[in-house]
Each structure stands twice: as C-alpha cells, then as structure tokens.
Structure 1
Amino acid sequence: MAVVESVLSKVPEPLRSVLIKHREMLKFGIVGGTTFIVDNGVWYLLKLTVLEPKPTTAKAIAIIVATIVNFILNREWSFRTRGGRERHHEAALFFLFSGVAMTINLIPLLVSRYVLDLEVPHVSRLVQEAADFASGAILGVLLAMAFKFWAFKKWVFPDELGERRRANGDSDEEEPDGGAGNVRKLR
C-alpha cells in the first residue's frame, strides 16, 4: 500500500472522500510545502550572508533552486498520472510557466522593498524582515502557487495526455475501501 493510501485509510470517512476527490491538489500542496521550506531556507541563507544587500536577487536564486525540486516532485508524484509528452517538452513548459510564476512571486517583494520603502534605514530591521516574509514568502508564494496549479494542470500535465498512462496501468489513483485492506480503482 502506498504512503498516501496508508495515510488516507486513517482519516475519517467524510474527510477521506474530500481528500481523495482533491488528491492532486493535496499532493501539489505537499510538494509546495516542501519547496516552500527549500525556497525560504535558501533565500534566508543567501540574504543573511553573501547577498545581504540584494534580497530580491537572493529570492530569485532561491526560487530557481526550489523550482528544480518542484519539477522533480510534481513530475514524479503530484501529476504522475497526467502528462505524457516527451520529458524535454514537459520540462520546457514547466520551466516556462515557473518563470512566469517567479515573476508573480517577486512582485509583492519588489513593491514592499522599493515602492513602499519597507527597508532599512526607512524602517527598523524587524519591520523590514517581517515585510519581506509577508510579501516574499507568504503573499508572493500564494499568488504564484495558484497560478502554477492552474498552469500545470492545464498546459504542462494535461489530463487528456495522461489517459494513455492510465490505460497502461501506471496509475496511483486508488482509494482504500474503508480499511478492509482491499484497494479499488477510482473512476
């Protein structure tokens, strides 16, 4: 039994049905949470050390690192049963839309720092860091995540291309049947 199925078997039934119905979004969210940690870890590492005077550059580098991790996890787990294009074509589309999402992600940080002047010496270091976190790590990420979920489902890993994968039996769209140990395919 896969990890997702073992976790879902422990969830109460009303919630389990909702989670199964929105399985892709749940997996996308888990991947997003993982890459959120990668993104912010790299960002703060760079912005508090070698790129201290350039927080937007540090954020852009962090997003690129997180995007690579994101591609691997989304391709191999979240949208595993979708897609079907040649890998290089899929990767090109993924990184194209991720580039657009990176721009969307950076806009709130740029506005915070350079339009609202929420940076030292105009404000205290605490206010600057709180504004950076709220704009770059929360607002920017949420806007980019919404865009990426739509774009990845629509253009990078479209369901109609995944039909041939599922036809060949490469599917993880299974649901525990209430803990009896049997697994049935979702339709």
Structure 2
Amino acid sequence: MTVVESVLSHTPEPLRSVLIKHRELLKFGIVGGTTFVVDNGIWYLLKLGVLEDKPTTAKAIAVIIATIVSYILNREWSFRTRGGRERHHEAALFFVISGLAVVVNLIPLYASRYVLHLEVPNVSRFVQETADFVSGSIIGMLLAMVFRFWGFKKWVFPDELGQRRRDVTRSSTDA
C-alpha cells in the first residue's frame, strides 16, 4: 500500500472522493510544500549569511535549487502518469516554465524592496524581514505555483501523452 493509499484509507468518505478526484493537485501541493521548505531554508541561509546585501540574488539561487527538487518529485510522483516525451525534451520544457515562474516569484520581492523601499534604513529590520517573507515566500510563491501547475499540465506533462507512459508502467509491472 502506498503512502497516498494509506492516508486516503483513513480519510472520511466525502473528503476522500474530493482528494481522489484532485489527486494530481494534492500531490503537486505536497511537492510544493516540500520545495517551500527547501526554498526558504536555502534563502534564509544565504540571505542571513554570504548574500546579506543581495536578497533577490539569494532568493533566485534558492528558487533554482528548489526547482530542481521539484522536477524530480513532480516527474516521478505528481505527474507520473502523464507526459511521455523524451526526458530531455520534458526537462527542457519543465525548466523553461520554471524559469518563467522564477521571474513571477521574484516580482513581489523586487517590488517590496525596490519600489516600496521596505528595506533598512527606510524601515526597521523586523519590517524588512516580514515584508521579504510575505512578498517573496508567500505572494511570489503562490503566484508562481499557480503558473507552474497550469504550465506543467498544459505543456510539460500533457495528459494526451500520458497514455504512452501508463502503458510502459503497466508492461514493466506485468513482467
């Protein structure tokens, strides 16, 4: 029994049906939560250390690392029954969509720091850090997540190509 099946077996029926119907979105959300921790852990490690004066650069590095983790988890778990392209083509599309999502993610942080000037000495360190977290880790990440989910389903892991991958998975489990 897989982890998902185990969790679903303990979930009350009305909710279980909704979770099964939106299984990809649920898995995508779990991957997103995991990469949220990776992203913020690396971002704060860099931002409070070697890249203290460059929070946007630190965020970009953190997002790129989290994106690599995201590709592996999404390909092998969230969208494993979709896709079917050659791996290098799929990976290229994934990173193009994710690259655009990095820009989407950085826009609120950039606006907070450099348009609204929510940075020391204009505001206190607490206000700066709160504004960075809200703009970079909540607003930016949510906007990027919506963009990624849409882009991944539409171009990277389209369902019409998924039949090939499902057939390969079935034939390898039958052997």
Q: TM-score, normalised by structure 1?
A: 0.90
User: Counterparts of 1:108-147 in structure 2 under 5 Å?
Assistant: 108-147=108-147
Structure 1's 82 and 3: CA in aligned 2 closer, same or farther, altered over 3 A?
same
- CA shift digits 1:20-62 (9 cap, x unpaired): 0000000000000000000000000000000000000000000
- Which residue of structure 2 aligns with residue 84 of structure 1? 84
Tell me which protein shows more helix as a share of its residues: 2
- Which residue of structure 2 aligns with residue 166 of structure 1? 166
What is the deviation of 1:124?
A: 0.1
- Which residue of structure 1 aligns with residue 105 of structure 2? 105
- CA shift digits 1:87-107 (9 cap, x unpaired): 000000000000000000000
What is the deviation of 1:163?
A: 1.1
- Which residue of structure 2 aligns with residue 47 of structure 1? 47
Looking at structure 1, the residues matched to 162 and 100 of structure 2 have their Cα atoms a distance apart, in angstroms, of 24
User: Counterparts of 1:65-76 in structure 2 under 5 Å?
Assistant: 65-76=65-76
Amino acid in structure 2 at the alignment position of 1:108: P
Looking at structure 1, the residues matched to 74 and 165 of structure 2 have their Cα atoms a distance apart, in angstroms, of 16
What is the deviation of 1:170?
A: 4.1
Residue pair 1:82, 1:161 contacting (<8 A) in 2 also: yes
What is the deviation of 1:164?
A: 1.8
Looking at structure 1, the residues matched to 23 and 99 of structure 2 have their Cα atoms a distance apart, in angstroms, of 25
- The question of 1:152 aligning with 2:152 is answered yes
- The question of 1:12 aligning with 2:12 is answered yes
Looking at structure 2, the residues matched to 12 and 169 of structure 1 have their Cα atoms a distance apart, in angstroms, of 30
Q: TM-score, normalised by structure 2?
A: 0.96
Residue pair 1:81, 1:170 contacting (<8 A) in 2 also: no
Amino acid in structure 2 at the alignment position of 1:36: F
- The question of 1:26 aligning with 2:29 is answered no
Amino acid in structure 2 at the alignment position of 1:147: F
Amino acid in structure 2 at the alignment position of 1:167: D
Aligned to 1:148, the other structure's residue is in SS state helix
Looking at structure 1, the residues matched to 147 and 169 of structure 2 have their Cα atoms a distance apart, in angstroms, of 30
Q: Which runs of 5+ in 1 are unaligned?
A: 172-187
- Which residue of structure 2 aligns with residue 178 of structure 1? none
**Aligned-CA RMSD value:** 1.1
Amino acid in structure 2 at the alignment position of 1:83: G
Looking at structure 2, the residues matched to 151 and 165 of structure 1 have their Cα atoms a distance apart, in angstroms, of 19
Residue pair 1:47, 1:54 contacting (<8 A) in 2 also: yes
- Which residue of structure 2 aligns with residue 35 of structure 1? 35
Give me the identity figure in percent: 79
Looking at structure 2, the residues matched to 56 and 43 of structure 1 have their Cα atoms a distance apart, in angstroms, of 9
Amino acid in structure 1 at the alignment position of 2:82: R
What is the deviation of 1:152?
A: 0.1
What is the deviation of 1:167?
A: 3.2
Amino acid in structure 2 at the alignment position of 1:23: R
